[in-house]
Chain A
């Protein structure tokens, strides 16, 4: 099977869904921040938060909008992929790197807790934490699953002893990357901890300050899947997480 045929069923079905009116779907982007002033994102980003690390823990602080809260461009790229697929996505930007860009694990946990507590429907996590945070992330992802929220998480690119958390957890939709001919292509991998493979090579994305660039990695395959999930939920708002996974599996190519 050539890569150009991978996920064709999903591609056609999602394109059809995108042609019909879709209900707005809240999507959290837990990342390096988002440049909400970028023309591709201004109408999509409705909330912005920053995880602020203090002596007694991490607090989530609301940020002004529109504004550029992204030092690196990673979160802006991720958000632009979601916006490019799901016109109905209303995004909340969670900057999970602390003010000095350390403490990502604690900030990730605190941001995920906030997103779950406020009921964001789709949560995109293109940053993987180490197994040290596995327990806390598992509790939060299980809670999200029970509440009908869908966490989409990236496999770690670095070859460490684990595949990255929360991607290893059963309650999340986990994503690896490959080069496909379409951003809506998807492959399902049976009997794998990381269940899905999305388009994550040479992806054209928005860059902070305006303009575009290209990105590679699981970080950029993950928001493609999150965008597809947002389209699905826009068309069928009552879908539960297990139903979303079942649809993705049925529509993806093995």
Chain B
């Protein structure tokens, strides 16, 4: 199992080795086992970049952790865009012969969105490379429920943060902005100077735009 604690902390406010991180790992592990998947993963939604990033993987090499996935492609993107669980199977050439496909890469994919209320916070997936494997409607119902539990874990963490800090929980956008500022600060003098130049240019644009409108 491989985890990117940075992404979980930045986008879901879940720190490394916390009970919430352990529960999420367990859910992905159990989910993959229950549906007979070779690999399972949790991708976190980044509301600023509007994409998904792999934060937890089980069963694979772990190379996907940190990889970003656009919302406009694939079953994972569709699950995020529609807030609905999605099942994918390979394409075959002949309608009457489902075995007439290439047999390369993932043969079956299951993707369920993690939601807090109506807000998308991530997607969990299951992948099989077995050419004979097909995820069923029952598998999708099970995975939808696992995703719902994962959403509750994130929601509970937010509530605990609100109670312990005495302030409203930061929104995902605020957390993403804070994380970006932190990365800039860690980038040293050169990064600070470059950011300063960008901000100056932005300020200049903001000053000139109303006159252009006139």
Contact = CB atoms under 8 A, between A and B. Distances in A.
A and B form one complex: yes
B113 interface: yes
**6 closest Cβ contacts across the A-B interface?**
A101-B81, A207-B91, A211-B91, A72-B78, A216-B87, A214-B89
A213 B84 contact: no
Interface stretch (A48-56, A145-153, A196-204, A240-248): A196-204
A219 B85 CA distance: 10
Interface stretch (B3-11, B36-44, B67-75, B194-202): B67-75
A160 B118 CA distance: 9
B82 interface: yes
Interface string A198-224: 001110100101111111110100000
A217 B140 contact: yes
Contacts of B91: 207, 209, 211-213
A36 interface: no
A170 interface: no
B65 interface: no
Interface stretch (B25-33, B143-151, B166-174, B184-192): B143-151
B92 A211 contact: yes
Contacts of B144: 157-159
Interface residues of B, number: 39
B77 interface: yes
Nearest to A129: B83
B211 interface: no
A104 B82 contact: yes
Interface string A108-137: 000000000000000000011010100000
B90 interface: yes
B45 to A, nearest CB: 11
Contact of A216 (B73, B136, B145): B136
A158 B87 contact: no
Interface of B: 50, 71-75, 77-78, 80-95, 98, 112-113, 115, 118, 134-137, 140-141, 144-145, 147-148
Interface string A3-23: 000000000000000000000
A213 B85 contact: no
Scoring A72, A160, A178, A217 by chain B CB atoms within 10 A of each residue's CB, the highest score goes to: A72
A174 interface: no
Contacts of B73: 71-72
Given A158-B115, A212-B95, A214-B134, A97 B81 contact: yes
Contacts of A132: 118
A155 to B, nearest CB: 11
Interface in A79-115: 97, 100-102, 104
Contacts of B78: 32, 72, 74
Contacts of A47: none
A217 B85 contact: yes
Given A127-B82, A212-B91, A219-B84, 20 more contacts: A32-B82, A72-B78, A72-B81, A101-B72, A101-B81, A104-B83, A156-B84, A157-B85, A157-B140, A158-B85, A158-B113, A177-B137, A179-B137, A204-B95, A212-B93, A213-B92, A214-B89, A216-B136, A216-B137, A217-B84
B134 to A, nearest CB: 7
8 contacts: A72-B77, A74-B78, A100-B72, A102-B50, A104-B81, A159-B144, A200-B137, A219-B84
A212 B90 CA distance: 8
B148 A158 contact: yes
Contact of B148 (A74, A159, A178, A200): A159
Nearest to A179: B137
A128 B113 CA distance: 14
Contacts of B93: 210-212
Given A71-B73, A72-B74, A212-B95, A202 B84 contact: no
Contacts of B112: 158
Contacts of B82: 32, 74, 97, 104, 127
Contact of A215 (B87, B94, B148): B87
